[in-house]
Structures are given as structure tokens and as C-alpha cells.
Amino acid sequence: MKLTQSSRGKWLVIGLPYFWLLVMLLLPFLFLGQVSVSEMENGGGFLKIYRHDGWFFKDNFIPIWNDIINGGTYRTAYLSSLYYAALTAFWCLIIGYPFAYFMARARKELQPTLLLFVMLPFWISMLIRVYAIKVLFNDSGFLVTSISGLLQRFGLIDDPLHVLGTPFSMMFGMVYVYIPFMILPLYSTLSKMDPRYWEASADLGATPIKTFFLITVPLSKAGIIAGLMLVFIPCVGEYVIPQLLGGADILMIGRVLADEYFQNANWPLASALAITIILLVIIPMMILNKYEEKAGEFK
């Protein structure tokens, strides 16, 4: 089939960004794969796998899997990362869904303004926003001292309140930073929903709550899945927020990777750790996606 000039232009416009994204995904991943099977060099860094006219591979994955099986530090970091990422995605969904729902059902002329408020945090660097939360939750900050004084006055606590460096402050920061990634796909799905579904449901005698759970939620499944993935995947490897707001007891894989790369200068082991967490996230998602495709075929 011969492509017309307009078709070629369309494929060029679509193809170039995809090609760029593919290259920028594959190149770092191939580099990561190469380093993960190389050896440490004296003084830090790594040796090339092809040297002296031969290939030299080292299995850096065996110690990691042994550590995971035997319940070592790496397993703790992996489980902690998956747990906090799942918890963040859950709270973003619980808070973000009603927000996106009422935003989609607001007056059409009001929706762009509401959307602007959701995207407003992107105008400020994430690092600055996280530092602002750190100041807010500081033990000597106005908020913490006020709440602490109030609780002590009513006899609810004896010692001054300590918030910074706890799982609460870290979760607060992660939900605050990532919640726009949940709201935007949900709003996109909900705003395109045909309102006649809700009208038909009301005409048939369904209550608003029943309509919400039987009509709205199932029809917004694509937005829910997209939001969960957009929040969960980056949260697994999050480094900045746990480092600034989490305590020393919270060990996530981002901190372990940073220690291996920059303190121990063990690039091969750090790369093997990074590939392992990618596989731990990607493989279950591929299985889930395959299962959903099969389930869709039976419908």
C-alpha cells in the first residue's frame, strides 16, 4: 500500500518522538545491563566486559538473590520500597478519586481553573516543595509546636510531638508530590464519561452511591489503572523524599542504590540491584496485563 504525503507526515510526527523515547529507554538500560555483569575495578568503577580480546562476565545477581532468600538487607529494602509505593498509590487513589470526580462534574467553564490548581505544584521544583514540608514538620516549626502544645494541654501526650523523620512525614510527602499523577488520568477518564449513564441509572431508581460504585467506578477502570501505575512505579525507586523526610529506620532501595554507587563505588552490584527491582516490578505487571487481556477475551 502506497502512503500518501499526508500519511507519511503523520507517521513522521508520531514516529520520531516514539523513536526518541525508545532510544533513550534502551541505551541506559543496555548500559545498566553491561555494568551489572562486569567486575569492580581497583579504586572504584567497573571493568569493561570485553577486554584483552575476550569477554569477561561476572554474576553479580547471585549474592542479591541469596540475600533476598535469606532475608538480608536487600530484601528488607525491596519489600519496604514495594510496601511504601503501594501505600502511596492507595492513598493517592483514595484522596484523588473524589477530587477528580467532582472536578469532572463541575461546570465546564470552571474545569480549566480547577485543572490549573492541580498542575500548579509542577511550577515549583520538587526539591523545594519537599524542603518546605521538612520545614513544616520540623520539631521547632509553628505547626508541630502548636499541635504538640494543644495535645499536651489536654493531657493526650506527655512528650513533645515528633513528626519529621517518621513514616508519617515520608508518606505525607510522597502522597503530596505524586497525587497529581493520579488525579490527571482519572479526570481525563471521568470527564469523557457520558452523563446519560448517570441519568439512566437514576431513572431506573439507583441511589447516587449505587450509581457511583456500579457505573462510575467500573467505567473509570482505565484511569484508575493508569493512575496507580504512574504513582506506584516511580515511588518504588524514590530517593529524595525518603532521604529528606523519612527516618534512618526506613530503608528503601533508592538509598541502597545511592550508597552502592556513590559511597562504596560498587557500580556492578548497584546496577544488578537496579535491574532486580525493575524485574520485580515489570514481571508482575506483565502477568497482570496478560491476565486482563485473557479476561477481556472471555467477556
Q: What is the domain partition of the chain in residue ranges? A: 65-297
- Residue 192 Cα distances to 31, 101, 139, 228, 237, angstroms: 41, 11, 45, 19, 32
Q: What is the DSSP letter of 38?
A: S
Across-strand partners of 29? none
Nearest-angstrom CA–CA distance, 65 and 272: 10
Print pLDDT tens along the chain (299 aa).
556 767 777 888 888 888 888 888 889 889 888 888 888 877 767 777 777 777 777 788 888 889 889 888 999 999 999 999 999 999 999 999 999 999 998 998 899 999 999 988 888 898 999 999 998 888 888 888 888 888 888 888 888 888 888 999 999 999 999 999 999 999 999 999 888 988 898 888 889 899 999 999 999 998 999 999 999 999 998 999 999 998 778 889 998 999 888 888 888 889 999 999 888 888 877 777 776 666 556 55
Nearest-angstrom CA–CA distance, 169 and 147: 15
- Output phi, psi for 246, to 5 deg: -85, 160
Give 180-228 as a DSSP string.
HHHHHHHHHHHHTS-THHHHHHHHTT--HHHHIIIIIHHHTHHHHHHHH
Residue 280 has a pLDDT of 83
Nearest-angstrom CA–CA distance, 119 and 113: 10
Nearest-angstrom CA–CA distance, 289 and 186: 19
- Exposure of 33 by Cβ count < 10 A (0-12 exposed, 13-18 middle, 19+ buried)? middle
Residue 297 has a pLDDT of 60
pTM value is 0.84
65-297 is a CATH 1.10.3720.10 domain? yes
